Copies of this chain bind each other. A is one copy, B any other.
Amino acid sequence: MTKPPTVYDVAHHAGVSIATVSRVLSRPDDVKPATRDRVLASVGELGYVPSGAARGLAARRTGVIGLFFQGLDAMDDLGDIALEGDEAAAGGARIVRDIPERTDTRTLNLYFDEVLRGCELESWRSGFALLVGVGRGSTATQTVRDMAGRVDGLMVLAGSASEEELARLSRHVPIVVMAGPRRGDDLDHVSVSNAEGMRTLTAHLIDDLGARELEYVAGSLGSPDDAERWSGFRAALADRSLEAPEEPTLRGDFTREGGRRVGRELFRRDGLPRAVVCANDQMALGVIDAARIAGVAVPEELIVTGFDGIDAGRLSAPRLTTVRQPMETLGRVSVQALARRLAEPKLPAMSVRLPVEVVLRESSESSVSVSLP
Contacts and interface: CB of A to CB of B under 8 A. Distances in A.
Contacts of A191: 91
Contact of A93 (B4, B117, B196, B311): B196
A1 B53 contact: no
A101 B109 CA distance: 24
Contacts of A266: none
- Consensus secondary structure, chain A interface: mixed
Nearest to A341: B1
B145 A134 contact: no
Contact of A113 (B75, B93, B113): B113
A272 interface: no
Which 3 A-B pairs rank lowest in CB-CB distance, beginning with the nearest? A52-B150, A53-B56, A91-B353
Interface in A273-319: 289, 292-293, 311-312, 314-317, 319
Interface stretch (A26-34, A244-252, A330-338): A330-338
B149 A98 contact: no
Interface string A330-367: 00110011001000010110111111111111000000
B150 A329 contact: no
Contacts of A50: 146, 149
A100 B170 CA distance: 44
Interface in A59-90: 62-64, 71, 75, 78, 81, 83-84, 86-90
Contact of A83 (B84, B169, B173, B352): B352
A162 interface: no
A199 B94 CA distance: 11
A92 B347 CA distance: 25
Given A52-B56, A120-B132, A150-B53, A94 B355 contact: yes
Contacts of A98: 314, 319, 359-361, 368
A116 interface: yes
